[in-house]
Amino acid sequence: MAFAADLRDLFNKKYYQNFECSAVIAAAGTSQRMGSEDKLFMELLGVPVLAHTLIAYQNCAAINEIVIVTREESIARVNEICVKFSISKAAKVTAGGSKRLDSVINGVFAVSSGAKLIAIHDGARPCIECSDIEAAVKAAGKFNAAAPAVKVIPTIKRVINGVIIETVNREDLVEIQTPQVFDADLIKASLTKARKESVNVTDDCSAVELLGFPVRITNGSVSNIKITSMDDIVIAEAILRKRHSECKM
């Protein structure tokens, strides 16, 4: 088993050298729904949320370098996390902007010039697994743009003025996650256009869609949750605890 795992890792390293994928970790949010505490520095099993995210990218052969975008006042703290948890792929920690779009633009233009692909990931998604990163990178290497997604399970209603108007057909609905991975030149041009035209894009795929480029969907994971509330902290801890216990078996 150990030999097979080592062989797989060796293959992955050679395979992904052709892609030269840089990861931009968006970690400049204000955590408004978490009160005064920055959710990225809250602990899951004794480790900061952001550290879990960075460790996942550090350990993934699909990623060559990591650029972290955070608030100006958090740069030193993020650097400390990189040192403490041996995030050797962390090439830069840069300041974000007033909006997420500005922060991501700062990040994508800070990656190394040799990057052919750029993966953009929410720092507040600490349960991401390498297999999901790899799938998105592979798809983007082939189709120029890709993102993980999961099917929408709950019943969705369209409501106007507090009254249900219709039940939305779930068949073609998905929830998009991160990392969203793109050809480097494509995402730089897309984000620049979105900012120039003051378009309110809700994610990075939306910016690429503005240029008329299709985004290929890969199979996401329900465990790849984004932490937005204290309830999510509890859920993320449960996911990570289960994952760690399975690794020890």
- Report pTM: 0.90
Q: Which CATH number goes with the domain that contains 131?
A: 3.90.550.10
Residue 172 counted as domain residue: no
Residue 124 counted as domain residue: yes
- How high is the pLDDT of residue 37? 76
DSSP category for residue 169? P
Residue 206 counted as domain residue: yes
How many domains does the structure of the chain reveal? 1
- How high is the pLDDT of residue 215? 97
Q: What is the DSSP string of 188-245?
A: HHHHHHHHHTT---SSHHHHHHHTT---EEEE--TT-PPP-SHHHHHHHHHHHHHHHH
Strand boundaries in the chain, DSSP class E: 21-27, 43-44, 47-48, 65-70, 90-95, 117-122, 145-151, 156-160, 163-168, 174-176, 180-183, 216-219
Residue 176 counted as domain residue: no
Three-class SS of 31-44: CHHHCCCCHHHCEE
Residue 72 counted as domain residue: yes
pLDDT tens, residue order, the chain (249 aa): 454 455 455 445 544 555 699 999 999 987 566 656 789 999 999 999 999 999 999 999 999 999 999 999 999 999 999 999 999 999 999 999 989 999 999 999 999 999 999 999 999 999 999 999 999 999 999 999 999 999 999 999 999 999 999 999 999 999 999 999 999 999 999 999 999 999 989 899 999 999 999 999 999 999 999 999 999 999 999 999 998 877 766
Among 124, 127, 87, 121, which residue's Cα sits nearest to residue 107? 121
3-class state of residue 56 by DSSP: helix
| Residues 6+ away with beta carbon under 8 Å from 140 | 21, 117, 119, 146, 181, 182, 183, 216
Residue 171 counted as domain residue: no
Alpha-carbon span 115 to 23, nearest angstrom:
10
Residue 154 counted as domain residue: no
* Domain range enclosing 58: 2-146+181-248
> Burial level of 136, CB count in 10 A (0-12/13-18/19+)?
buried
- How high is the pLDDT of residue 19? 61
- How high is the pLDDT of residue 246? 75
User: Residue 243 to residues 85, 88, 218, 230: CA-CA distances in angstroms?
Assistant: 19, 24, 22, 20
Which residue(s) pair with 160 in the sheet?
A: 163
Q: What is the dihedral of CA 209, 212, 216, 220, to 10 degrees?
A: 10
Alpha-carbon span 69 to 16, nearest angstrom:
24
Residue 60 counted as domain residue: yes
Alpha-carbon span 92 to 82, nearest angstrom:
10
